[in-house]
Amino acid sequence: MESLRDHLASRVERVDSGLTFTTSSVVREVDPDFWDVVDKRCQAIEMGAAAFYTAARATGKRAAAYFWVTDLPVGGKSFFDLPTPDDVQIRQDRCDRAVSLDLELLIHLWG
């Protein structure tokens, strides 16, 4: 995992690792009790891996994942704010790089 982190750090602006919380719905975080069950050490909330982890656990397999996440809240922005032209360009550039970076990571893991 350390070599993967080093590999990523040479290609993207920011790499972080840590605990995530997997939820079943993208709107679950607005439920009144949601934040009572999320560990304070969690660095990201996600829903994409829920089925993957459920399947891994049910079959006794170990699982790991990496996520593309946003740091908009760190910059004081909301998902509901309209993006500026610069924001749109940054998102487009990252989207264009995402597929090739995903493939690079897979090759690095199995290479």
Sequential DSSP letters for the chain: -HHHHHHHHTTSS------EEE-S-TTGGGSTTHHHHS-TT--EEE-TTHHHHHHHHHTT-----------GGGGT--TTSPPPHHHHHHHHHHHHHHHHHHHHHHHHHH-
Which structural domain range is residue 36 located in?
Answer: 2-110
**Mean pLDDT across 64-70:** 67
Residue 52 has pLDDT above 80, yes or no: no
pLDDT in tens, 22-38: 777 666 767 778 888 88
pLDDT at position 85, please?
92
Res. 111 pLDDT band, cuts 50 70 90? low
Residue 69 has pLDDT above 80, yes or no: no
Q: How many domains does the chain have?
A: 1
